[in-house]
Amino acid sequence: MKIAVVCYPTYGGSGVVATELGMGLAQKGHEVHFVSSSQPARLDLLNERIHYHEVTMLHYPVFDHSPYLLALTGKLVDVVRHEGIELVHAHYAIPHATAALLARDILRREGIPLAVVTTLHGTDVTLVGKDPGYEPVVSHAINLSDGVTAVSESLRTDTLAHFHIDKPIQVIPNFLDLDRFRQRNPCRFTMALAGDNQKRLIHISNFRKVKRVDLVIRIFALIREQIPACLLLVGDGPERPRCEQLCRELGIAMDVRFLGKQEAVEEILSAGDLFLLPSETESFGLAALEAMACGVPVLSSRSGGLPEVNVDGVTGFLTDADDMQGMAQAAMRLLGDDELMQQFRLAARRQAERFDLHQILPLYEEAYRLALQRSGGS
Please indicate, yes or no, whether residues 144 and 292 belong to a single structural domain of this protein: no
* Lowest mean per-residue pLDDT among 84-88, 122-126, 188-192: 188-192
Total domains in the fold of the chain: 2
Q: Do the domain assignments include residue 106?
A: yes
pLDDT at 192: 58
Whether residues 213 and 130 share a domain: the answer is: no
Q: Are residues 41 and 135 in the same domain?
A: yes
- Residue 128 banded pLDDT, cuts 50, 70, 90: low
Q: Is 180 inside a domain boundary? A: no
Q: Is the dihedral of CA 265, 270, 271, 274 positive or negative?
A: positive
Would you give the end-to-end CA distance of the chain in angstroms? Answer: 9
CA distance 210 to 191: 29
Q: What pLDDT digit, counting tens, does each position of 311-367 carry?
A: 999 999 999 988 999 999 999 999 999 999 999 999 999 999 999 999 999 999 999
Are both 118 and 195 inside the same structural domain?
A: no
pLDDT at 170 over 90: yes
Q: How far apart are alpha carbons 329 and 325 in whole angstroms?
A: 6
Q: Domain range holding 145? A: 2-175+356-375
Residue 182 lies inside a defined structural domain of this protein? no
Beta strands in the chain (DSSP E): 2-6, 31-36, 50-54, 87-91, 115-120, 147-150, 170-171, 199-204, 229-234, 256-260, 274-277, 298-301, 316-319
Give me the chain's average pLDDT, please.
Answer: 90
What phi, psi does 318 have (nearest 5°)?
A: -115, 135
Report which of 271, 292, 270, 245 is spatially closest to residue 193, judged by C-alpha positions.
271
In a shared domain, residues 155 and 202 = no
Q: Are residues 252 and 142 in the same domain?
A: no
pTM for this model (two decimals): 0.89
Instruction: Count how many residues are written for the chain.
Output: 378
